[in-house]
Amino acid sequence: MNLGIDLGTANTVVCDGRHGILFDEPSVLLVRAGGRHAKILAVGQEAADLLGRTSNGFVAVRPLQDGVVTDLETARSYLRTVLHKAGRRVWSSPVRAVLGVPVASTALENRALLEAAEEAGIRPATALDGAVAGAIGCGLDPMDRRVHLVVDVGGGTAEAVAFCFGGVLAHRTTKLGGDEMTVAVARYLREQHQLHVGELEAEQLKIRSAEDQGPLVAQGRDAATGRARLATVQAAEVAEAVRPITDEIVRTLAACLDDLPPQALADVLAEGVLVFGGSSRVQGFATELERGLGLPVKLAEEPLTCVAEGAARALRNRRLLAAYGRR
């Protein structure tokens, strides 16, 4: 198997060079707590479906925090199960992969991810900036002599990366992303509608508000009576709730332009800024970004899968991996 893997804070996507997307599910494991004897009960969508529905003793674990591996053992078990779900049946069958990593990740953080991947049976495992992989997935060539600027806004992080002819020129990262937007929506409902909602409901409301401008219905628990009830929320209210987060993301990422020479800016002005990652779909984000950067913004056609698709393509391009690969 020759795979591109986007092991994100929120979602994991695995793409095969020949067969396309093999796995696309939330990055989460459900384990039964038990110290060293913790047992994995469900992974991916199965685990996500059980969030908030299990009794005491079950814990949801995310293999990554802010885009990086924090626990080697968890990451290894998670990757092993993901490979199995992606169709790897024979333990000894060779798997090569390129894995997307945050541009600001340290050598030590990349080492942890690659070690977990190798222990899960991926050999060789190569790390590539997720933003560069996403650009490849959208049809850009990072070996071009023109400068490209891309923005990746995921669940736990957002980054802007400018690159050209095999090298990164400038980048900015923030540990704000869709997860914080979801928290902001839940807080808004509590404060303005006296409704307590779970994480899943707040996220669904955020996503629906990006697709439907009409009134939306939120389901939760009344703050005063503790009883289940519904509330009608306008899409514009959700946009207002997430605006402080999107503003902060745009402000941080826009500083990336300060590091670009005038000729590079001219390239980006001519071509526009490519935006991907699930949170690029949040209501009003693209407009905010366009205003903050003062540059035209283009939305990727496949914002959630282009990183894995690009990573799978990069696996076949030795020159590109020699230039951008991180070991």
| Greatest pairwise CA separation for the chain in angstroms | 63
DSSP 144: S
Kindly state whether residue 44 participates in binding ligand ATP, applying the rule CB under 6 A: no
Stretch that binds ligand ATP, among 82-90, 233-241, 276-284, 286-294 (CB under 6 A): 276-284
Kindly state whether residue 206 participates in binding ligand ATP, applying the rule CB under 6 A: yes
| Number of amino acids touching ligand ATP (CB under 6 A) | 23
Q: Exposed, middle or buried, 222 (CB in 10 Å: 0-12/13-18/19+)?
A: middle
Kindly state whether residue 8 participates in binding ligand ATP, applying the rule CB under 6 A: yes
Buried b / exposed e along 78-116 (16+ C-beta atoms within 10 A) = bbbbbbebbebeeeeeebebbbbbbbbbeeebbebbbeb
Kindly state whether residue 63 participates in binding ligand ATP, applying the rule CB under 6 A: no
Query: Which of 10, 22, 47, 161: binder of ligand ATP (CB under 6 A)?
Result: 10
Query: Which of 278, 295, 297, 320: binder of ligand ATP (CB under 6 A)?
Result: 278
**For helices 107-119 and 72-85, angle between their N-to-C axes, nearest 10 degrees:** 50
Q: Specify whether the CB–CB gap between 58 and 32 falls below 8 A.
A: yes
Residue whose tokens read 């798997």:
95
Q: Specify whether the CB–CB gap between 17 and 316 falls below 8 A.
A: yes
Kindly state whether residue 279 participates in binding ligand ATP, applying the rule CB under 6 A: yes
Which residue, 74 or 279, has its beta carbon nearer to ligand ATP? 279
Query: Which of 179, 201, 237, 288: binder of ligand ATP (CB under 6 A)?
Result: 179
Is 156 assigned to a binding site?
Answer: yes
**Binding-site residue positions for ATP:** 9-11, 155-157, 203-206
Name the residues that contact ligand ATP, by CB under 6 A: 6, 8-11, 67, 154-157, 177-179, 203, 206-207, 210, 277-279, 281-282, 304
